[in-house]
Structure 1
């Protein structure tokens, strides 16, 4: 991890996430009738809500198409959801342009080759512990947790702390 990860995190306004291997453990489970199942971490979900309440924009950018992802995004109120994306860099660039943001104000969390181009441009590249080695080497921040096991929450708390917003995010849940 680069020593300047905290400085980079202090500039972030939008955080985009891959799904498989980041918000999930990367496993794909199919039912007998061909339906798809994914397991998401509830603590990651609360972290995403904390980020939204702190004023961050969130996005999902994934190479696969899944109704399960649509349902999870709707459950969390994530507005920017891009599925079936072959060029994540172009997708994030267009989102940044629409929102009037620069690359240094964007964080992206990914775990595999398809994520490298966007991670190479964003202000804060984040990889979960289970990411491919080449992705870890590109990351400014490497989480101790793996995808689907709290990595998203860990990254979120890092960004909130870097912007001195962590205590305020936790405050509603702490007893006086």
Structure 2
């Protein structure tokens, strides 16, 4: 089982684990006329996730919601580790760390609300979008200037790449 260690510098991060609603989306939920759910994902964040994958960072999603849209996003972005309907995000994060053979100290968890705090506290690095809850902002090691669903994930990925001495353009080409 991975050890729960202290805070980690961005250069040591090997994986990014994200909440979905409020991080990859703006937290809004639209219902169609037949009751179907719609969520909006930002292309800047999509590119950020793609860059993270190209740079060799592990990726996982842990969501409190059980939406098929999370599966669709994960499929499109080639994210294999997905936990939906999760009530214990710290346990799910430990499970991911074990399955990926990555120490918790090498994982950055990005969340936006109080249900993300347990995972944020055990990850080596915690991140939050600018519009996260007050409690999450107080816990976060990295606070994006952008809001959830509007480029916050890309901002985190750019910072992780920069900490490794990489630029997005280099990773993309």
TM beyond 0.5: yes
Q: Normalising by structure 1, what TM-score?
A: 0.91
Alignment of 1:89 with 2:66, yes or no, is: no
Match of 1:40, SS?
Answer: coil
2:145 alignment partner in structure 1: 144
1-structure distance, mates of 2:99, 2:70: 23
Whole-angstrom CA distance in 1 between matches of 2:139 and 2:33: 39
Q: Is the Cα contact below 8 Å between 1:8 and 1:104 reproduced in 2?
A: no
Structure-2-length-normalised TM-score: 0.92
Count how many residue pairs are aligned between Structure 1 and Structure 2.
Answer: 166
- Cα distance in 2 for residues equivalent to 1:165 and 1:79: 25
Structure 1 Cα separation of the partners of residues 101 and 74 of structure 2: 23
Look up the match of 1:25: 26
Give runs of aligned pairs for residues 1-176 of structure 1, distance below 5 A.
8-166=9-167, 168-170=170-172, 172=173
Moved over 2 A (4+): 165-168
CA distance in 2, matches of 1:169, 1:29: 34
RMSD: 1.2
